Chains A and B, each alone.
Chain A
Amino acid sequence: MKLTVWTYEGPPHVGAMRVATAMRGLHYVLHAPQGDTYADLLFTMIERRDHRPPVTYTTFEGRDLGADTAGIFRDTCRAAYERFVPQAMIVGASCTAELIQDDPGGLAETMGLPIPVIPLELPSYQRKENFGTDETFFQIVKALAKPMPRSAEVSVNLLGPLALGFRHRDDIEEIKHLLAQMGIAVNVVAPFGATPEDIARLGAAHANILMYPEHAEAAARHLERVCDQPYTKTVPIGVGATHDFVNELAQICGVEPKIDTTRLRQPWWSKSVDSTYLTGKRVFLFGDATHVQAAARIARDEMGFEVVGLGCYNREFARPIRALAKEFGLEALISDDYLAVEQAIEEAAPEMILGTDGTPYRQTFGYPLRRDLGPGSCARFPCPLFAPNGMGRRKCHFRYMDSPPCDGS
């Protein structure tokens, strides 16, 4: 942990909040001081949700520190159960509360609540938000999902979409559309919209679609081991990757790889003569590993750009991103220090940056910037003025990238 004016990820308890907020019937009791309740506004303001996240904070104050903060936690836990009557609860500490070492997981387990209480160990001073999402979802799945008979029809679970996600709602709709064409049913989407009871019936699916490895890879691996469910390794972002995904899924499920390409316009836009001046444009990619991986392929193979630099901020994915960079003849930049990213961009001197929302590079360099790689910020979440239309919109993003590079003059 260090002081910075800008950061790609929050602490891991924010990741746990993103899982809890995405689900229904789950409650998160968070041992945290008064000021930490500000995390609420990530959801009610940045994502414009109309409900508070299902989180109860202990909100201890300075004067409580000399007294019984563990008692405050127990009282809060019981009050939260009685008020919200959730199907299951997750419990943990925020970065600040971790320092007082009250062991909320252990305390809650001994309270004898009549629902599953899932303790979270999220080391705030070593790990970050994406670890928080992945670990929290994994712990929930581990506690609640058990092997069970498969559904009669071929079905899959969609794993990974959650609150404050980057266009997750649209991605779910797109994948459901693909699955319908192949005659594959959706068993459960999780965490997005799932209840703990839904998590308990994950095992009925024939396979899992891992939509975002950042948020659900640990859960997918666990389900592969425990429920004998294979999971897809290709993330369907971009034309080539979507094609590969359909083939991979068809093979796993033993169905025909059917795909309707009548709505697919991107390949034609790339061939259209006005796109010729995109040829060989030097682009720099930096964001979360999953989107960078997808964007690298789109940039090189589907847009005709030259990728002159790439990297990700989430260290958990350093290995695959390093391998990807090697394939592109580059050295990957794995860093969560935006100043190091700025420096790498300056050295690579690209004509365009594909980056994340809110990154300060545009101001620094005056480059054109497409902000399609997570994490997203306020502008990224559809409000009434910016109605989303799914993957078509994602292609639109790339359509508008052909504005000539700004030279800062």
Chain B
Amino acid sequence: MPHLPVLRMPRRARARKAIENASAALRGKSVFFMPDSQLEIPLARFLTRECGMEAVEIGAPYIHRGLVGPDLALIPEGPRISEGQDVDVQLDRVRAARPDLTVCGLGLANPLEAEGLSTKWAIELVFTPVHFYEQAGDLAGLFSRPLRRRAILEQGAAR
């Protein structure tokens, strides 16, 4: 991209490299967003475009097309986009899809874990620095940690 200042290229390349490492556990996995943090759409854009995940459903409490329209446009066709909250009906869809990872609020995380579904607490994405090139690898790492943890515990239980 010739129009970018040359100085930015190494940072961007570094970010790409970091994401590549951190997202190894995410490639080809499915993700379901319950409405919670209002960051669902940009996060889904990141996970599908850059981490190789497949979004099943992207739910957000409120969708402001003016703000998240450009992000939505970058998400490949396929996932159901849902706005607002109807928790029991949404949980029915989670259970039917059995996604590899569900991004949800703390109120739902433990009940879903108890049903054998891996979750990522959405709130952590609000108070962890996840912006810009320098944090991109950490952002991918936030999503892969629950999957890696489950794998470790399953291995341990099998020993």
| A residues in contact with B86, CB < 8 Å | 59
The CA of A80 and the CA of B87, in the complex, are separated in Å by 11
| B residues in contact with A48, CB < 8 Å | 110
Within 8 Å of chain A (Cβ to Cβ): is B111?
A: yes
Within 8 Å of chain B (Cβ to Cβ): is A41?
A: yes
| B residues in contact with A61, CB < 8 Å | 62, 84
| A residues in contact with B87, CB < 8 Å | 37, 52, 57, 59
Within 8 Å of chain B (Cβ to Cβ): is A195?
A: no
Within 8 Å of chain A (Cβ to Cβ): is B114?
A: yes
| B residues in contact with A45, CB < 8 Å | 106-107, 109-110
A52 touches B111 (CB 8 A): yes
| A residues in contact with B110, CB < 8 Å | 44-45, 48-50
**CB neighbors of A among B71-127 (8 A):** 84-88, 105-111, 113-114
A37 touches B85 (CB 8 A): yes
Within 8 Å of chain B (Cβ to Cβ): is A56?
A: yes
| A residues in contact with B88, CB < 8 Å | 56, 79-80, 83
Which of these, A40, A41, A50, A57, contacts B114 with CB under 8 Å?
Answer: A50
| B residues in contact with A83, CB < 8 Å | 88
A52 touches B108 (CB 8 A): yes
The CA of A57 and the CA of B107, in the complex, are separated in Å by 13
Binary per-residue interface labels of chain A (54-66) against chain B in the complex, 1 for a CB within 8 Å, 0 otherwise: 0011010100000
Number of A-B contacts (CB under 8 A): 52
Given known A-B contacts A59-B84, A59-B85, A34 and B61 have beta carbons under 8 A apart = yes
The CA of A59 and the CA of B84, in the complex, are separated in Å by 9
Within 8 Å of chain B (Cβ to Cβ): is A386?
A: no
The CA of A145 and the CA of B88, in the complex, are separated in Å by 31
| B residues in contact with A225, CB < 8 Å | none
**A13 to nearest B CB, angstroms?**
15
Q: Which residue of A lies closest to B91 (CB)?
A: A52
Given known A-B contacts A50-B111, A51-B111, A51-B114, A41 and B84 have beta carbons under 8 A apart = no
The CA of A80 and the CA of B89, in the complex, are separated in Å by 11
| A residues in contact with B113, CB < 8 Å | 50
A44 touches B85 (CB 8 A): no
| A residues in contact with B107, CB < 8 Å | 37-41, 44-45, 52
B111 touches A41 (CB 8 A): no
**CB neighbors of A among B40-95 (8 A):** 61-62, 84-88
The CA of A27 and the CA of B28, in the complex, are separated in Å by 39
| B residues in contact with A59, CB < 8 Å | 84-87
The residues of B with any CB-CB pair to A shorter than 8 Å are 61-62, 84-88, 105-111, 113-114
**Given A45-B109, A50-B110, 14 more contacts at CB 8 Å?**
A34-B61, A34-B85, A37-B85, A37-B107, A38-B105, A40-B105, A50-B111, A50-B114, A52-B87, A52-B111, A56-B88, A59-B86, A61-B62, A80-B88
**What are 27 A-B pairs with beta-carbon distances under 8 A?**
A34-B84, A34-B85, A37-B87, A37-B105, A38-B105, A38-B107, A39-B107, A40-B106, A40-B107, A40-B108, A41-B105, A41-B106, A41-B107, A44-B106, A44-B107, A44-B110, A45-B106, A45-B109, A45-B110, A48-B110, A50-B114, A52-B108, A56-B88, A59-B84, A59-B86, A79-B88, A83-B88
